[in-house]
Chain A
Amino acid sequence: MAVALRSKLGLVVEPVYLRKIDRRSDWGDASDEMFSRASHAESAIFSAEDTFSLFFASTDEELSEVVVGMNSGRSSPTQQIDFVGFTQTELDLARIRLTGTQGDTMCDAANSLHVDAIPRDGDSFRFLCLSVFASQREPFRISKSEAAEMLDDMRRRGCKAVAQPPSCECVK
């Protein structure tokens, strides 16, 4: 059975743009004071860069593609990954513009889901964090066992990130 994107996201029913976070504490905790939490998340996750990477996901299959793609450069292809998800509405309200660009993972399907996110003003990232805090949506984790399940699924689909297939069926 596929790892369910919906169950990971809780109440959100829209497609999401996924951002991998290096450590859970980068996103802070619901018990933290909201504005200092937003400042911390802004500097830890988005820094002062002009552009940051997101992966679009609307289905369980796309979530698998993103996870396998992101793990394709790791020492183990079943590493756990933490994500925070943003909806299109949250990104729009934060005045963050999205541009479709190819990702650089070893999975072509994941690469096609990659977008660059470009903030239009200096408060965009902080506003984005505050919007997600207000929604009470927390980051979610893909565990090692779930990553292994996704890897098997992608292997069956002939993903070239995990095998040398004659043709990669997961590219749309």
Chain B
Amino acid sequence: MKVSGRLDIAIDILSQLGKQICRYANDFLINDITNWGHRFPERAYEPNDDYWFILLRSVAQSSASATDRFGVVRKCGKATSRGVVEAVVESLGDIASEDAMTELKKYLVHEDPFIARLAASILESR
């Protein structure tokens, strides 16, 4: 039977790691940039959207400070994959700090209409 909620379960568990998940996400991001930018520059970068969705929302829902969570999430804002940008936008909504809401408003004019609509719906529900 196909059941939904697999991503939710992973986010619930990983977000319990607090500051550690922030640290891990920072390290992972640096390694990812190093790998794809320097070690395999000839290969097309194809991020795993599910992985980034789980990682960023776990960071956003963790007990780390809003400043730390925002710092990690904002670094991924330049992603080109819809799935990763979706994770960034949802995570900004999870953090919901003043900085996060200001950042989220920038996505209202995103070139992908899906992202712009998602940002609008999150802001409307506040």
Q: Is chain B found bound to chain A in the same assembly?
A: yes
Is the Cβ of B114 less than 8 Å from the Cβ of A53?
Answer: no
| Chain A interface SS verdict (over half) | loop
CB-CB contacts below 8 Å: A119-153 with B = 141, 143, 145
Which residues of chain B come closer than 8 Å to A25, judged between CB atoms? Answer: 49, 82-83, 86, 114
State the Cβ distance, B45 to closest chain A Cβ, in Å: 18
Instruction: Select which of A22, A31, A79 is within 8 A of B114 by beta carbon.
Output: A31
State the Cβ distance, A138 to closest chain B Cβ, in Å: 9
Instruction: Select which of B2, B113, B114 is within 8 A of A47 by beta carbon.
Output: B2
Query: Taking CB as reference atom, which chain B residue is nearest A104?
Result: B3
- Is A116 in the interface zone, CB < 8 Å from B? yes
- Is A20 in the interface zone, CB < 8 Å from B? yes
Interface residues on A, range: 20 to 34
- Is B32 in the interface zone, CB < 8 Å from A? no
State the Cβ distance, A38 to closest chain B Cβ, in Å: 15
Contact indicator per residue, chain B 81-106, by CB within 8 Å of chain A (1) or not (0)? 01100100010000000000000000
Question: A19 with B117: in contact, given A25-B82, A25-B86, A141-B125 (CB under 8 Å)?
Answer: no
- Is A49 in the interface zone, CB < 8 Å from B? yes
Partner-A contacts on B (CB < 8 A): 1-8, 12, 15-16, 49, 53, 82-83, 86, 90, 112-114, 117-118, 121, 125
Contact sample, A vs B, 20 pairs, CB 8 Å cutoff: A19-B4, A20-B4, A20-B5, A22-B5, A22-B8, A23-B83, A24-B86, A25-B82, A29-B112, A29-B113, A31-B112, A31-B113, A46-B2, A49-B2, A51-B1, A53-B3, A70-B5, A74-B12, A79-B8, A143-B125
